[in-house]
Structure 1
Amino acid sequence: MIQIQNVSKSFGGLQAVKDVSFEVAKGSVTGLIGPNGAGKSTLFNMVAGLFPPTSGRVLLEGKDITGLPTHRLFHRGLVRTFQVPHEFSRMTVRENLMVVPAGQRGENLFHAWLRWGKVKEQDRQTLEKVDEVLAFLEITHVADELAGNLSGGQKKLLDLGRTMMTDARMVLLDEPGAGVNRTLLGKIREAIQRLNRERGYTFCVIEHDMDLVSALCDPVHVMANGELIASGPMSELRRNEQVREAYLGGGASGRMGEPSAKNKGPSAGNGEPSAKNGEPT
């Protein structure tokens, strides 16, 4: 689905990403992990068209999309979410979903004045889809709540809902588990799995919660200091000494999601606090 070929990015004298190559297979849920500052979000931003790479190429379904802006990638079915959700806080959840589809007739002054019947019919169809998305994500009970009043986990579900309103084929998820309680985290995990299994969505997921990565992702790619250092199933990466070294600082076992004496049981996370807003990942 996505091919990242020898991609690098420099900001002045700082090389944030260094000659990274890997693929995201169609129909997969692929993980991208690494310590803060590893270059993961910078790589996502290049794939998503926020800025071009200094060198290398990005292909979507075999076609070169290197440097294409986000609005053009949106129309090709590639979308991304952010670690900090970007909802319209003073609009309701339902309204946040309604504004997503592109090319709505009501956005055109000519149609709004002279083809009001067609505008109303399209709005009816959009509302039907909104209701279906709300039900799928089990957030119908907050449909008329202002999006700014939602909890962190509910905002992440709303982000997923907005991708569903686009019929996206390739979704880049940036830390869907960050700042989310364990109950809603389970709902987010289930929604991603169902979208992948039932609707054919392909995902690439940046995440620090190793339990969530283990439950969702195969394969998993590991970055450190801007470079790709390992790839494979999570069960193998836990035993990889280079990967464990990259996570040293608070104890490799805790950071790699292995229970320790102070952190046991199914509710254990990755052994480290979520990345702070704005902190480079």
Structure 2
Amino acid sequence: MLTIENLNKNFGGLQAVRNCSFEIKEGTITGLIGPNGAGKTTTFSMIAGELAPTSGRIVFEGKDIAGLPTHEMFHRGIVRTFQIPHEFAKMTVLENLMVVPPEQPGERLFANWISRGQVKRREREVRDRAEDALEFLSISHLGDEQAGNLSGGQKKLLELGRTMMTDAKLVLLDEPGAGVNPTLLLKIREMISRLREERDYTFCVIEHDMDLIASLCDPVIVLAEGTVLMQGHMTEVRSNPDVLDAYLGGGEEN
């Protein structure tokens, strides 16, 4: 589904990503791990369109998309979540989901005057989809709660819900387990697995919780100093001496 070829990103004199190459196969949950400063977040940002590569190719479904803006990536089916959720705090959980689908007729002023029936039908469709997402995630009881009042783990579930409101093909999850209590972490892991199995999502996951990566991801790609150190099953990763050395020498996150 996604091929990264010789990807590079420079910030002045700092090379955060260098000659990075790997593939993400359709239908997998691929882990992207590495010590602080390995270039994981920078790589994610280039795939999602938030940063343009200095050089290299990002090929998604056979087309080079390197340098396209975030809204273009979104329309092609690449969706990203963040380590710190970006919810609309003063809107309800249900409203947070309903604003996601693009090109809703109700967003156009004149459509509300001359195409009221179309606007209402589409709003009902979006609401039904949002309620389905809440039910799937077992958070229907939070639908009328302001999103800013949710716990950290509940906000991560809301992030997954927002991806369900799109026609996502590839979902980039940035530390879905960060700051989440163990009970909700199990729920998040279950939901990611179910979305892959039941709704054909493909995931790429950045995560520092190695137990979460081991239980979810195959393959696992290890980055170090901006490039791929190795790729394989988590059992191979954990036994690789180069990986252990890389983690002992980590610096700041990019």
Task: Please report the TM-score for the alignment, with normalisation by the length of structure 2.
Answer: 0.98
1:13-60 Cα distance to aligned partner (Å, 9 max, x none)? 000001000000000000000111110000000010001100100011
Deviation at 1:113, TM superposition (A): 1.0
User: How far apart, in 2, do the equivalents of 1:19 and 1:212 lie?
Assistant: 28
Q: The residue matched to 2:110 in structure 1 has which SS? A: helix
- 2:237 and 2:129 mapped to 1: Cα distance? 40
Partner of 2:253: 280
1:157 aligns with 2:157: yes
| Offset at residue 228 of structure 1 (A) | 1.1
The separation in 2 between residues aligned to 1:180 and 1:248, in whole angstroms, is: 25
Which blocks of at least 5 consecutive residues in structure 2 are unaligned?
Answer: none
1:280: how far off? Answer: 2.6
Q: Distance in 1 between matches of 2:66 and 2:167?
A: 22
The answer for the alignment partner of 2:199 in structure 1 is 199
Letter of the 2:114 counterpart: L
Percent identity, aligned pairs only?
A: 64
Matched, 1:98 2:98: yes
Runs (4+) of structure 1 exceeding 2 A deviation are: none
Q: Which amino acid aligns with 1:161?
A: G
Worse-superposed segment, 201-210 or 107-116: 107-116
1:22 aligns with: 22
Write the letter of the residue equivalent to 2:7. V
Aligned equivalents of 1:33 and 1:154: distance in 2?
24
Q: Tell me if 1:239 matches 2:239.
A: yes
- 3-state DSSP class of the match of 1:109? coil
Paired AA for residue 160 in structure 1: L
Deviations 1:225-245 (A, max 9, x none): 112111100011110000011
Structure-1 separation of matches of 2:185 and 2:249:
26
Partner of 1:79: 79
**Aligned pair 1:62/2:35, yes or no?**
no
Contact 2:97 2:162 in 1 (8 A): yes
The within-5 A match list for 1:223-238 is 223-238=223-238
Number of corresponding residues: 253
In structure 1, stretches of 5+ residues that fail to align are: 251-278
Give me the whole-angstrom Cα distance separating, in 2, the residues matched to 1:11 and 1:248.
24
Deviation at 1:249, TM superposition (A): 6.7
Residue aligned with 1:15, SS:
strand
2:182 and 2:141 map into 1 onto residues whose CA distance is: 19
Partner Cα distance (1:60, 1:124) in 2? 33
Q: CA RMSD in A?
A: 1.1
Residues 169-184 of structure 1 mapped to structure 2, 5 A cutoff: 169-184=169-184
The aligned counterpart of 1:267 is: none
Residues 86-122 of structure 1 deviation map (CA, whole Å, 9 limit, x = unaligned): 0001101000000000010100112111111110111
TM-score (norm 1): 0.88
Residue in 1 that maps onto 2:143: 143
Contact 2:21/2:227, CA 8 A, preserved across alignment: no
- Give 1:189's aligned residue: 189
Per-residue CA deviations over 1:200-253 (Å, capped at 9, x if unaligned) read: 100000000001000110000001111211110001111000001112279xxx
Q: Which has the higher contact order (CA 8 A, sep 6+)?
A: 2
Q: CA deviation at 1:167?
A: 2.2
